[in-house]
């Protein structure tokens, strides 16, 4: 009887380990269990550039591991998280941790970061003015209107001597935290994706790396960029997000493994020439 119950428990555990269209195999080597991802499909939401481009580079690498990757492109910062929360996506890749934290708080969601992939330096780009040292009084400065990216833009303006923020403002800064504004700059808040399209009506704009790329701008054309050792570089690394509880799904772990591979690091460095930088350390062979 005990032997029969043991067989049933073993069968139940094996059945429960199979999900999402994949298969699971067990090895007897020192009692280890190895899950395979053969035949699985995952749907990942992403901004067109650079996120979707990086995912496209990852597709053949994932296929070699039995995972089919479907990429769904979004042009805003709201819908990818809504779609992930409702189960229309298995993961998304477009945002940094502070934005994810703020979105969770504002929308009562429980999305979590599976891991970081890259960092995009935010840049100040010329509109009607091309010299930061000669900005006219009352110059119009475009910044993203979402809380986390606006703070990041203000920190970059401060690091270039254009404004001074309250000492403790940090990554939560808003334009209300500006304590010195010698040129009476007009801070114009707008949806991040619109900034590259609005340069003709602004003196300068602080633009996220992915939207700069999507708008045909080169990081080498920026009047100033975030430094690699800045608070922003450490804080605003772009992550893969999943629903809380999905972190251990084998196919999502495989996605993260591929996105943190030497092949993807090489692709990022060769393709984006500094506008996008991998933030992971590739494990030694």
DSSP per-residue string spanning 126-138: ESS---GGGPPTT
Which architecture, in CATH terms, is 38-120+236-278?
Answer: 3-Layer(aba) Sandwich (3.40)
Please state, in angstroms and rounded to a whole number, the distance separating the CA atoms of residues 17 and 14.
Answer: 5
| Rounded Cα gap, residues 176 and 186, in angstroms | 12
* Integer Cα distance of 242 and 20 in angstroms: 15
Q: Which long-range contacts (CB under 8 A, 24 or more apart) does 277-285 make?
A: 277/118, 277/119, 277/120, 277/121, 277/228, 278/117, 278/118, 279/116, 279/117, 279/118, 279/119, 279/237, 280/115, 280/116, 280/117
- pLDDT tens digits in sequence order for the chain, 285 residues long: 433 334 333 333 333 333 334 443 333 343 333 457 789 999 999 999 899 999 999 999 999 999 999 999 999 989 999 999 999 999 999 999 989 999 999 999 999 999 999 998 899 999 999 999 999 999 999 999 988 889 999 999 999 999 999 999 988 899 999 999 999 999 999 999 999 999 999 999 999 888 888 889 988 889 999 987 777 788 889 999 999 999 999 999 999 999 999 999 999 999 988 889 999 876 444
Pairing of strands 204-207, 140-144: parallel
Predicted confidence at residue 282, as pLDDT, reads 63
- Distances, alpha carbon 239 to alpha carbons 51, 147, 216, 250, 285, in Å: 10, 18, 23, 18, 24
**Residue-range domain boundaries for the chain:** 38-120+236-278, 123-233
Per-residue DSSP letter, 42: E
Indicate the pairing of strand 186-190 with strand 140-144.
parallel
Q: Is there a common fold for 38-120+236-278 and 123-233?
A: yes
pLDDT, position 200: 97
Query: Is the Cα dihedral 234, 43, 197, 148 positive or negative?
Result: negative
User: Which residues on adjacent β-strands are paired with residue 56?
Assistant: none
Q: Is the CB of residue 22 less than 8 Å from the CB of residue 251?
A: yes
10 burial (CB, 10 Å; 0-12 / 13-18 / 19+) is exposed
User: How much is the pLDDT for 33?
Assistant: 30
Matching CATH number, 123-233, of 3.20.20.100, 1.10.3720.10, 3.60.21.10, 3.40.190.10: 3.40.190.10
pLDDT of residue 31: 36
Residues 34 and 221: their CA atoms lie apart, in Å, by 48
Instruction: Tell me if 60 sits within 8 A of 54, measured CB to CB.
Output: no
pTM for the predicted model, two decimal places: 0.70
């Amino acid at each position: 009887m005990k032997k029969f119950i043991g067989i049933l428990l073993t069968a139940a555990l094996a059945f429960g380990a199979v999900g999402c269209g994949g298969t699971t195999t067990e090895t007897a080597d020192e009692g280890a269990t190895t899950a395979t991802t053969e035949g699985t499909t995952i749907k990942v939401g992403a901004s067109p550039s650079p996120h979707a481009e990086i995912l496209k580079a990852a597709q053949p690498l994932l296929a070699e591991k039995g995972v089919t990757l479907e990429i769904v492109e979004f042009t805003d910062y709201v819908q990818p998280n809504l779609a992930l929360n409702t189960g229309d996506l298995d993961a998304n890749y477009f945002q940094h941790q502070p934005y994810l934290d703020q979105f969770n708080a504002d929308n009562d969601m429980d999305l979590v970061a599976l891991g970081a992939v890259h960092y995009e330096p935010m840049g100040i780009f010329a509109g009607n003015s091309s010299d930061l040292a000669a900005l006219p009084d009352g110059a119009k400065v475009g910044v993203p209107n979402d809380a986390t990216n606006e703070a990041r833009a203000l920190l970059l303006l401060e690091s270039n001597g254009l404004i001074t923020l309250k000492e403790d403002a940090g990554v939560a800064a808003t334009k209300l935290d500006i304590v010195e504004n010698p040129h009476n700059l007009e801070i114009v808040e707008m949806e991040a994706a619109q900034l590259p399209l609005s340069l003709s009506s602004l003196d300068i704009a602080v633009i996220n790396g992915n939207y700069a790329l999507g708008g045909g701008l080169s990081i080498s054309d920026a009047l100033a960029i975030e430094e690699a050792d800045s608070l922003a570089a450490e804080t605003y690394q772009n992550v893969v997000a999943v629903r809380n509880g999905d972190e251990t799904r084998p196919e999502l772990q495989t996605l993260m493994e591929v996105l943190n591979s030497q092949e993807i690091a090489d692709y990022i460095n060769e393709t984006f020439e500094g506008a996008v930088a991998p933030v992971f350390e590739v494990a030694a062979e």
